[in-house]
Structure 1
Amino acid sequence: MKCAVYIRVSSKKEEQKTSLVNQQRFFYNVIAEKRWELYQFYIDVESGTKDKKRGNLKRMIEDAKKGLFDVIISKELSRLARNGKLSYEIKDVAENNGVHIITFDNAINSTEGNVHMFGLYAWVYEQESQRTSERIKAALFSKAQKGEFIGSIPPYGYQVVNKKLIPTNDYKPEVVKNIFQMYLSGMGFDSIARTLSNQGYPTPATEAGKKNAGQFWYGSSVKSILRNPHYTGDLVQHRETTRSVTTEAREAVSKDKHLIIKNAHPALITHEDFETAQKLMKTRKTNITKPQKHLFTNFLYCSDCGSGMWYRQNRAGYICGGYARHGNIACTTHTIKEQTLVERILSDIKEIHHLITDESQLSKLKSERKAQKTQSQVQVTKISKTIQSLKSKKKRYIDLLAENVITENDYREISTELEVKIKHQEKKRSELDESLHDEQLFKELESVKKIIAQFLPLKEVSSDLLSHFVNRIEVNKQGKPFISYRFSVFSKQN
């Protein structure tokens, strides 16, 4: 069987690195003893009980849905999940996709039918996690009462020194002051955001070192700063809390339960300016030029920045959404007329309609397919033998690793090289397999023919027609569209 191994260690400390190495060695021996094939290790270095940041666990679940392996093995059920909801989600995904689960705490071994203790173990681990969570919350609450900042990331413009908020020794405190000044002078959230982007200031997410932080400021970031009471010098904590150990969802705590320490750190904004900003936010109406929902909305995208295209009445067409929101600093217009798209799509569909209704063209296509089929069958047989040989080599290296004949680095290098070769051969075989199924192609042609019949005589493009034929349209900076259709018979249209 092809197996996936999941390992989670709680930190990057040296003792946890040793634990990781020991667990890997244990699983190498298990796989070699059972004569299984290692698909992949999925390793997360995370503490806590929630699954939000456990990227490799999520990837393993998705790979299980794709049927990329036959069994998941892990040291304990608590390594996979420490709450009942996630435990059962993993179990259901495995069962629905024919994947076994084995944990070495005896919680589950579906290869032997041992699943009856699963619920009890899941409940015990969740209760243990809940108690741990409550102890952590109590400790943080006690620190907050002493005036210590307990957040994971300090507010933009501050740093944490000896558990206290101190203004940073750079431009950020002035940016915060400027944001309040611009807002109080009448500018809106998005106008302030565009000004900051044009001035080249890194965003709060970038300064905090967050993954996937954007290059441009957004109105929501400006609004968040304007609403943060910490800028007045008061430490205001315990404003929200997690609902339970099983979810990332947070809920607001009523104001009477907030922990407020007056004048806990240097202020960047006066109380008067802060309160004025809060009142303005309640009274001002947001007036933003939003993209109008039009014919190609949700189909049309900028090929450079990936933003959705926004319809503009004065252009009778679409422009890049990134340009519309942030200006030239983000992208260029990528303008395209709606009529250009309509004419192009009607032309493509009419061309395909002509092909599938012309008997001489279909007869020629069938003759070409017959000649290709004989050649493809020979190639598929040859490739299948090559794949089997590569997989046998991969299994032999597991034995050598378990016997300490080769190092883990050697195994990873050889295994990765073999896996690349296997995937390359499997891709070639898959492509050839598709070419053997004439009925699939002609079934698609018949399906396209029936759908086109619903829209004859093809004089206009409607949202219904688009949903039947088009996946996505990208527009380059010259305004040229590249259309991805839902049917392979359209593949040469671009």
Structure 2
Amino acid sequence: MTEKKKAVIYARYSSDNQREESIDAQVRAIEDYAKKNNIEILKTYADRAKSATSDKRPQFQQMIKDSALGIFDIVIVHKLDRFSRDKYDSVSYKRKLKANGIRLISVTENLDGSPESVILESVIEGMAEYYSKNLAREVMKGMKENALQCKHLGGLPPLGYDVDANKNYVTNEAEAEIVRKIFDMYINGYGYSEIIDYCNNKGYKTKMGNSFGKNSIYSILDNEKYSGVYVFNKSSKKDAFGRRNSHSSKDESEMIKKDGGMPAIITKEVFQKAKEMMAVRKKAPGANKAKEMYLLTGLIYCGHCGSAMQGNRRKPKDKPKYVSYRCGCRVQKRGCDNKEIRKEYVEEFVLTELEKNILNDKAVPILVEKINKHIEEQSKHEKESTETMIRELNEVRKQIDNIVVAITNGFYQSEFKAKMEELEERKSRLELSIKEIEVKNNIPSITEEQVKNMFAMFKGYVLERNIPECKKFIQSYVHKVIVYKDRVEVIFNVAFNFLQEKDVVSIRASARKKTLFKICRNIA
């Protein structure tokens, strides 16, 4: 008997007039195909309400990643456009599958790998991309027609407006008063922080029901709709990688603007004055505009509220410049009372601890011992999990054998068919899980030499306090820096790329703020 090929299913439905049932129909068709062609289905990857013009699909990415494990031979889709409607992505990911020895099969498009089928496949993919772009064009055409009538086109309306049954904008007077107050404060010289404090102290909320922050204030001051001008198609287009710059706008010729297209909450004079003031403040040089290299950007967090901390630079009159990390919640929403910490203090502490705990020859034997112990414990845990699954697998196989014996002896019951299908599915899932653990658990012990070689290139930069060079690799070793009211804690995560899944070992170090300040002042 020919050995069954092992396959996985990839199914997807987008939001363009498709439903959850669309995936069920795709899976049924693929399962029928698999039965007719002696293919065993191990797993189903399904992305719901995801467009195939983008590769930002979690289950799709997981399927591509799993293809390297050697567990399955085939990926089956209902149609090629379920795999991708973007020709570049399609070619790129097919190449990855091919490199892993995986074949892609479309149930509805019979492509056998011949020269003719290669051409046909290219035509099908081109048509899928055409369909996607044509659909987007038709949707845009319909939206433009509604925009010319100044209709609401979906989503939440801006603060200060509601939408009636005919999709026309109407003023929400309670919210409109908040908008007027924000513009009035801004054109009278109040800064973002003062406006944020005022709104949040009054208990005002954004349209989403959140407290006000810098971004929400900016979006109000920058929104021409409040002056009675209906605006459509302002946001810039996505780039080749599906990303959009929210701070950039399209050319005026591509927008639809209709003066008087919606109720005005403020006068045009007020809006224009606010825009001019925003432009002036944006261009103002100021001490805080000077460039500063922050080593811990993206790594440092407030221990009081959990928000990310931001670099802050100021030059008080007749005093030296003061550069620090400040809680983002304190900056944006004035909602945290954790004090800022001087940049040089916290960065010196992190680099000292990095040198002492990680990039130090004396620390290497201790680190290697910890890593190998971690690997051993992980392997032990995985072994226990595998043993449990093997016992369950043996029980499932026993139940299958019992049903086969019963049928052979003439004791057939209608329930047997459904039970056999359920058991076969459990058997396949267990075999897949056991194989995945076996592959991931093949982790060797590491040596001191391997660790020393990995650290050698970075040690010099740390000893020299070469911040620009340290910034290039700091995220490989520092997982997080947490600034509490009374202490600072750094968590080092050492990832080893010669281990499976880039295994990570954590090391923690902490110091009280008072001690930290004394040490740094002595160094200075």
Decide which of 77, 87, 91 is 1:88's aligned counterpart. 91
Q: Partner of 1:305 in structure 2?
A: 306
Decide which of 249, 262, 267 is 2:264's aligned counterpart. 267
Instruction: Report the secondary structure of 1:284's partner residue.
Output: helix
What aligned pairs does 1:277-288 form with structure 2 within 5 A after superposition?
Answer: 277-285=274-282
Q: Partner of 2:11 in structure 1?
A: 6
Moved more, 241-250 or 97-106: 241-250
Deviation at 1:36, TM superposition (A): 2.1
Deviation at 1:53, TM superposition (A): 7.2
Give me the whole-angstrom Cα distance separating, in 1, the residues matched to 2:416 and 2:507.
Answer: 53
Does the aligned pair in 2 maintain the 1:143–1:150 contact within 8 Å? yes
1:200 and 1:66, CA in 2 relative to 1: closer, same or farther beyond 3 A?
farther
1:412 and 1:475, CA in 2 relative to 1: closer, same or farther beyond 3 A?
farther
Mapped pair 1:78 → 2:86: no
Deviation at 1:224, TM superposition (A): 2.4
Deviation at 1:246, TM superposition (A): 9.4
1:380 and 1:283, CA in 2 relative to 1: closer, same or farther beyond 3 A?
closer
Does the aligned pair in 2 maintain the 1:31–1:38 contact within 8 Å? no
Q: Partner of 1:486 in structure 2?
A: 494
Does the aligned pair in 2 maintain the 1:293–1:311 contact within 8 Å? no
- TM-score, normalisation: structure 2: 0.68
What aligned pairs does 1:29-48 form with structure 2 within 5 A after superposition?
Answer: 29-31=32-34, 34-45=38-49
CA deviations over 1:213-249 (Å, ceiling 9, x no partner) = xx55443432222222221223233445757999565
Give me the whole-angstrom Cα distance separating, in 1, the residues matched to 2:334 and 2:281.
Answer: 28
Q: Partner of 1:341 in structure 2?
A: 350
1:68 and 1:326, CA in 2 relative to 1: closer, same or farther beyond 3 A?
farther
Does the aligned pair in 2 maintain the 1:101–1:110 contact within 8 Å? no
Deviation at 1:111, TM superposition (A): 12
Mapped pair 1:475 → 2:482: yes
Give me the whole-angstrom Cα distance separating, in 1, the residues matched to 2:213 and 2:427.
Answer: 45
Does the aligned pair in 2 maintain the 1:50–1:245 contact within 8 Å? no
Give me the whole-angstrom Cα distance separating, in 1, the residues matched to 2:74 and 2:169.
Answer: 49
Give me the whole-angstrom Cα distance separating, in 2, the residues matched to 1:158 and 1:415.
Answer: 57
Does the aligned pair in 2 maintain the 1:238–1:253 contact within 8 Å? yes
Give me the whole-angstrom Cα distance separating, in 2, the residues matched to 1:18 and 1:274.
Answer: 49
Give me the whole-angstrom Cα distance separating, in 2, the residues matched to 1:86 and 1:378.
Answer: 40
1:158 and 1:341, CA in 2 relative to 1: closer, same or farther beyond 3 A?
same
Q: Partner of 1:444 in structure 2?
A: 450
Instruction: Report the secondary structure of 1:310's partner residue.
Output: strand
Does the aligned pair in 2 maintain the 1:74–1:80 contact within 8 Å? yes
Deviation at 1:484, TM superposition (A): 1.0
- What stretches of structure 1 of length at least 5 have no aligned partner? 208-214
| 1:6 partner amino acid | A
Deviation at 1:406, TM superposition (A): 5.5
Deviation at 1:89, TM superposition (A): 3.6
Deviation at 1:186, TM superposition (A): 1.0
| 1:345 partner amino acid | L
Q: Partner of 2:418 in structure 1?
A: 405
CA deviations over 1:364-404 (Å, ceiling 9, x no partner) = 97xxx89x99x99999999877666767888999x99x996
Does the aligned pair in 1 maintain the 2:86–2:129 contact within 8 Å? yes
Give me the whole-angstrom Cα distance separating, in 2, the residues matched to 1:305 and 1:293.
Answer: 23
How many positions carry a matched residue from both structures? 463
1:315 and 1:29, CA in 2 relative to 1: closer, same or farther beyond 3 A?
farther
Mapped pair 1:185 → 2:184: no
Give me the whole-angstrom Cα distance separating, in 1, the residues matched to 2:237 and 2:206.
Answer: 26
Q: Partner of 2:228 in structure 1?
A: 233
Instruction: Report the secondary structure of 1:480's partner residue.
Output: strand
1:117 and 1:295, CA in 2 relative to 1: closer, same or farther beyond 3 A?
same
Instruction: Report the secondary structure of 1:139's partner residue.
Output: helix
Deviation at 1:335, TM superposition (A): 4.3
Deviation at 1:3, TM superposition (A): 1.1
Does the aligned pair in 2 maintain the 1:177–1:269 contact within 8 Å? yes
Deviation at 1:430, TM superposition (A): 4.6
Instruction: Report the secondary structure of 1:150's partner residue.
Output: coil
1:113 and 1:65, CA in 2 relative to 1: closer, same or farther beyond 3 A?
farther
Does the aligned pair in 1 maintain the 2:78–2:107 contact within 8 Å? yes
1:465 and 1:29, CA in 2 relative to 1: closer, same or farther beyond 3 A?
same
Moved more, 329-338 or 475-484: 329-338
Mapped pair 1:221 → 2:216: yes
| 1:347 partner amino acid | K
Q: Partner of 1:176 in structure 2?
A: 179
Give me the whole-angstrom Cα distance separating, in 1, the residues matched to 2:420 and 2:191.
Answer: 60
1:382 and 1:288, CA in 2 relative to 1: closer, same or farther beyond 3 A?
same
Deviation at 1:121, TM superposition (A): 0.7
Give me the whole-angstrom Cα distance separating, in 2, the residues matched to 1:450 and 1:253.
Answer: 49
Give me the whole-angstrom Cα distance separating, in 1, the residues matched to 2:193 and 2:123.
Answer: 52
1:323 and 1:277, CA in 2 relative to 1: closer, same or farther beyond 3 A?
closer
Q: Partner of 1:27 in structure 2?
A: 30
Moved more, 152-161 or 288-297: 288-297
Does the aligned pair in 2 maintain the 1:84–1:126 contact within 8 Å? yes
| 1:310 partner amino acid | G
Q: CA RMSD in A?
A: 5.2
Mapped pair 1:148 → 2:151: yes
Q: Partner of 2:328 in structure 1?
A: 322
Does the aligned pair in 2 maintain the 1:348–1:493 contact within 8 Å? no
Question: Quick one: higher RCO (CA 8 Å, sep 6+), 1 or 2?
Answer: 1
Q: Partner of 1:211 in structure 2?
A: none
Q: Partner of 1:210 in structure 2?
A: none
| 1:471 partner amino acid | V
| 1:229 partner amino acid | E
Q: Partner of 2:103 in structure 1?
A: 100
Does the aligned pair in 2 maintain the 1:302–1:334 contact within 8 Å? no
Give me the whole-angstrom Cα distance separating, in 2, the residues matched to 1:297 and 1:319.
Answer: 9
Q: Partner of 1:354 in structure 2?
A: 362
What aligned pairs does 1:372-391 form with structure 2 within 5 A after superposition?
Answer: none
User: Identical aligned pairs, as a percentage?
Assistant: 18
